[in-house]
Amino acid sequence: MSCDLKLINLHCVTTNDTVTDEVKMQQDGRQFWPNDGDGYFSISTGNDVVLGILRQFTGESTTISLYDDEDFGDDDFLGSATISRREGDQLERRQDIMANGAHYVLTYKVRDNGVFD
């Protein structure tokens, strides 16, 4: 049985880098945003990115991770959020994503075999 995950918004509270982070997003270890694994999105403190991305997952949960687009090292991990199928009530939810000085807020909804409003 699968769940749909609607990623609504990504808000940057604080960047890892001085001015901007060049953000890539992964689901369970595979990059999907931006451009399905080809590129990055620049974001600075206080800014929002309207995502409007629909992803699916099976099992009890999925993990959304952020990385800064540099030579991947320990300091390029910007944090992750684990999203549970138990959140499948279509309510808008937020999770903090934090690591290495960066702080982001991911807004999303989960649907367990239903229809998004």
| pLDDT tens per residue, range 18-67 | 899 999 999 999 999 998 777 889 999 999 999 999 999 998 999 999 99
Which string of DSSP letters, residue by residue, matches 91-106?
--EEEEEEETTEEEEE
Torsion of CA 99, 28, 94, 38, to 10 degrees: 80
Can you give the pTM of this predicted structure? Answer: 0.91
CATH dotted code for 2-111: 2.60.40.150
| pLDDT tens per residue, range 60-105 | 999 999 999 866 566 689 999 999 999 988 899 999 999 999 999 9
